[in-house]
Structure 1
Amino acid sequence: LFSLCLLFKFIIAGYLSIFIYSIPYIGITVITLAVIALLLLLPLKKELFYIAPPKRFSSTQRPECAEPVVVALLAFFIPFYIIYWFFRIHREIQFVAPSPRLMTACGAGWLSAIMPFGTAILCLTLSDEIRALLANKNEDGGIRTGWTLFWALLLPPVGAAIIQAKMNRFITANTADTADRG
């Protein structure tokens, strides 16, 4: 079912461009939209382009270990579960270590739902972020980011399971670290 939804998303993305080019007066439409976009950019202050972006404040939740196989099976058989999973995993990582490289939880959910390769992009950034967190704890990073990207492109539920396994490894390392201190 998930594969059919993914195939449907790719077909729409492929044929939408053909539909757009069949619109009469496409040149005038494109120029009009470009002028409108430029007019919307005029009121922006030029200082906004030279300062660092503000820190994002996203909703967070305490990280919990989840079985990677269960995550993969749920994501494979229930197409909307992967959207929820990306939402949840981003909230968990923002709780542990807020990062400007990660999207907000709502943004991650929308990206995984709408953009054809959004799940692969999200898995790539999550893998890099968790590997950096594990490196700070002197732990093994697990499967490399390239393989995570490969599986996220081939089968997004497997990519989600790999990320969940890395997150579980980080949670156990973090729990062991706090137990050593206390």
Structure 2
Amino acid sequence: MMMIKGSMKLMDNTSTPAADMRWTLADLLSSYRFWALYLATLFATIGVQILNLSLPLISSSLGASYQEIGIFSLGSNIGLILGAFTAFSVAGRSPRASLMIPLIVAAAVALAFLLVPGLWTSPLLLFAMGATIGTVHTLFPLATATFLVGARPSKIDFGCALALLSMTSLSTTAASFMPVYQNDRSGETVIFALLACLVLAAIVLAPVRDLDFSKAPRPRHKAFAPRRRSPLLIAIIYILPIIALLRLLFIAASGQGEALESPSYGPFGSVASLAIFLVAMLIYLAYWVYRIHGELAGVAASQRLLTPFSAMCIAILIPLGLPVILMTLADFINDRARENGTKPLISIPVVVTLSLIFPPLAIALVQYGANKSYGIKIIEPSQISGQAM
């Protein structure tokens, strides 16, 4: 009987690491592989969109018929199927190869078009171009979602990670304004742009050996001493640039745009004051995001918290980065309060809504919750087990 109990205990111990190997959103956003997938998807999407927007015009100017252009569309549709098949069937077994090989093949086909301009009217090469580009376009977002599932995040963390990755679709709109194809009828500039995007995608992926998040995340923390700040003062700091912007819009709408630089309009009535307020706001936002992550970690370290530097970069540079960070901070503060026998300090729906329509108030609300959480006595797991005994 003792042997059976011992073997059962050994089985429990061996299964513990696998059960604990969950990636939080902070783990994902603090890893290079996540941002490598983000940037690779972004570059691939931009390159594909530039080609799709310009190919009909270039092919027509080089003498291609509508039937030949239709062959490219056929190849692109088949590529969508190939990309989905690769993402769901191959990416799980060979994550790195499943992304790098389609990039290399697409770059080789694009290089052939660059070296031999007459291929713009070749049905076979147009089909190959469509198939490879369609594969790349579908493969990256689907494969990235597959890799994220392997990280076993919570539903909220998975949704937030996908929301950030979905911002790569904004490149579709950005690519439509790029002038690389508007005055180019030979197609060389477009192919150069496509090749550059494919090469950049391969470069950011090259240093990553494990793309599937199969290994446990590394511990990482940078703790600061907690500091309470006035939520009202924080809100005022972020509202000042909005006041300056509204003032400028009012002056312009009243037909007095030529007098924007007049001293009579005060500190909120000039373009220079608006620029100063915006720069000051961004600097303080970076400082606040950096400090609050370190200060919350200073109370009690947690894998759910981003490193201060990662959080600062995401809030400033990534679309939807600030709302995601504010929501995760509010959720973390509430969970810490629940774990220590206190009711939730912040309303998550209110934070999410305010972060999208009026971020200054959402930031002030998170600071209010952080101030309250600093006064909560943290109960360690060992204390809980001791009380239970």
Give the TM-score normalised by structure 1.
0.75
* Correspondent of 1:55 among 193, 202, 219: 219
Matching residue within 124, 136, 154 for 2:327: 124
Counterpart secondary structure, 2:237? helix
1:90-146 Cα shifts (integer Å, max 9, x gaps): 111121232333221112222222223221111011011111111111112133212
Higher relative contact order, chain-length normalized (CA < 8 Å, sep 6+): 1
CA displacement at 1:155 relative to structure 2 = 1.2
Distance 1:61 1:42, change over 3 A: closer
2:176 partner amino acid: I
Aligned with 2:237 (options 28, 50, 74): 74
Alpha-carbon distance in structure 2 between the residues aligned to 1:51 and 1:26: 40
Distance across 2 between alignment mates of 1:162 and 1:170: 12
For each residue in 1:127-182, what CA deviation from the matched residue of structure 2 results, as whole angstroms up to 9, or x when unmatched?
1111111111111213321211111111111111110111111112238x8xxxxx
What does residue range 3-82 of structure 1 map to in structure 2 within 5 Å? 16-20=174-178, 22-24=179-181, 25-26=189-190, 29-38=193-202, 41-42=205-206, 44-46=208-210, 49-58=213-222, 60-77=223-240, 78-80=280-282, 81-82=284-285
- Identity rate, percent: 24
Structure 2 CA distance, aligned partners of 1:40 and 1:66? 39
Aligned to 1:106: 309
TM normalised by structure 2 equals 0.38
CA distance in 2, matches of 1:18, 1:158: 35
Structure 1 CA distance for aligned equivalents of residues 303 and 287 of structure 2: 21
Q: In terms of mean alpha carbon deviation, does 111-120 or 131-140 score higher? A: 111-120
CA–CA distance in structure 2, aligned partners of residues 142 and 103 of structure 1: 20
Larger radius of gyration: 2
Pair 1:138–1:160, CA change in 2 (3 A): same
Unaligned stretches of 5+ in structure 1? Answer: 1-12, 178-182
Which amino acid is the alignment partner of residue 113 of structure 1?
I
**How many angstroms apart in 1 are the aligned matches of 2:202 and 2:320?**
28
SS at match of 1:74: helix
Cα distance change of structure 1 residues 109 and 36 upon mapping to structure 2, 3 Å threshold = closer
In the alignment, structure 1 residue 171 sits paired with structure 2 residue 335 = no
Amino acid at match of 1:61: F
What 5-or-longer segments of structure 2 have no aligned partner?
A: 1-170, 182-188, 241-279, 380-389
Matched length: 163
Letter in 2 for 1:79: M
Tell me what 2:271 maps to.
Answer: none
- Change in CA separation of 1:86 and 1:14 when aligned onto 2, cut-off 3 Å: farther
